[in-house]
Structure 1
Amino acid sequence: MKTLIATLLIAAPLVAASSFAQAQGTTPAKATAAKKTVQKTAKKPAAKKGAKAAAGAAAAGTAAAAVAAAPAAPLSTEELAVSERVFKGRIPCELGAYVNVTADSTNPGYFFVDGRGFKYHMSPVKTTTGTVRLEDKAAGAVWLQIANKSMLMNQKAGQRLADECMSPEQQQVAEAIKKNPPPSLLDAPKPAQ
């Protein structure tokens, strides 16, 4: 993949130089000289790093624009109710990771969930357990939020992207559970016979 990107980064200026030369009516010899100049510039390490950074930024911008431009289907009343319970902001997770959850201003009820190496456009999904669930069905990503923690999973890749994520409200619930743990299901009183 890196080789493909590097090849494209080197080929793009060559194609542009060739097209420019043809548009200007330049002779093939002059166009070849222009190509060699572009190749020499592209071979320099600083130029490669700059070109890679520019290509990476362009790709990230394109991906972000694609995510932002995704048409959103209207949500049901139940899904909008779920979206009201979503914790927003920068949410710290285990191992120094974090997840940013921000509301999509153009599509009510939808959210952008992003962090290191990922960005998803998610919609709420009604659950029978009351768990807050956001999904990006195209990417296979799921954000689950319960009272004391949240997690982000990529079901297509079969991996957790972030775990033990806690908003300030969830941290309070987690501390309360530590101080006063709920009774175990195994310790529950047996029903009278």
Structure 2
Amino acid sequence: MGDAEVTAVVTQFVARQAAYPPNTPSWPHVRGQSIEEPFMIRSFALTTVCAALFSIACPSALAQDAGKKPTKTSQAKAKAKAKPKAKTEAIAATPEPVSPSQLEIAARVMTGDAQCEFDQRVSVQAIAGQPGHFKVGFKKATYTMVPQETTTGAVRLEDKRSGVMWLQIPSKSMLMNSKIGQRMVDSCTQVQQRAAS
């Protein structure tokens, strides 16, 4: 039953009671009933109508409460949950420590833009204020790498998180993904390598 229907029922009920006061001889009642009995029936009917109105009003009030904006307490809890994630990101951004032997390898790294096959380029740049750390860029991706020792004497920079490596030998360099064992780009040369060839 909608709000309009309930209002109409209540209006008709009140009008009927006003037309027949309970203590007047014109009050309609069944033979054998006292004057008080219709009055009790009317009270019971009024209680039923009120209960129907209450049942309609409660869901509306609950719906309004559900649509309220989050309180300051709930917002504070959400921020508290987000703090551990921010802390984890800060830890991940901490520079990886490098050993003296890694710094020796870093001194042999050729920096600048390398020209690669299929007219592609790889950028190798030292990170200011972080000795032994390099930014290697290819296409739209950038990797933070540090030197790793090798048994062949080749220069190898590696981003351990992504598994991407930059391998430098006297004649050329290449970018590889060690996790899938695939070359990303090959035949990369810088000025020093082209001059030596």
> What TM-score do the two structures reach when normalised by structure 1?
0.53
Number of the residue aligned with 2:144: 121
Name the % identity. Answer: 43
Number of the residue aligned with 1:147: 170
From 95, 100, 121, the equivalent of 1:98 is 121
> What TM-score do the two structures reach when normalised by structure 2?
0.52
Q: 2: CA distance between counterparts of 1:142 and 1:115?
A: 12
From 163, 166, 178, the equivalent of 2:189 is 166
State the SS of the aligned residue for 1:129: coil
State the SS of the aligned residue for 2:128: coil
Decide which structure has the larger Cα Rg and report it. 2
Flag structure 1 segments of 5+ consecutive residues without an equivalent: 1-20, 24-65, 175-193
Deviation at 1:158, TM superposition (A): 2.9
State the SS of the aligned residue for 1:80: helix
Question: Which deviations, in whole Å up to 9, do the C-alpha atoms of 1:150-178 show, x marking residues without a partner?
Answer: 0000112332111100001101222xxxx
Flag structure 2 segments of 5+ consecutive residues without an equivalent: 1-67, 71-88
Deviation at 1:118, TM superposition (A): 2.1
Number of the residue aligned with 1:109: 132
Q: 2: CA distance between counterparts of 1:98 and 1:129?
A: 25
Query: Residue type of the partner of 2:163?
Result: G
Deviation at 1:126, TM superposition (A): 1.3
Aligned pairs, how many? 114
Deviation at 1:22, TM superposition (A): 4.0
State the SS of the aligned residue for 1:151: strand
Q: CA RMSD in A?
A: 2.5
Structure 1 stretches of 4+ moved >6 Å: none
Number of the residue aligned with 1:156: 179
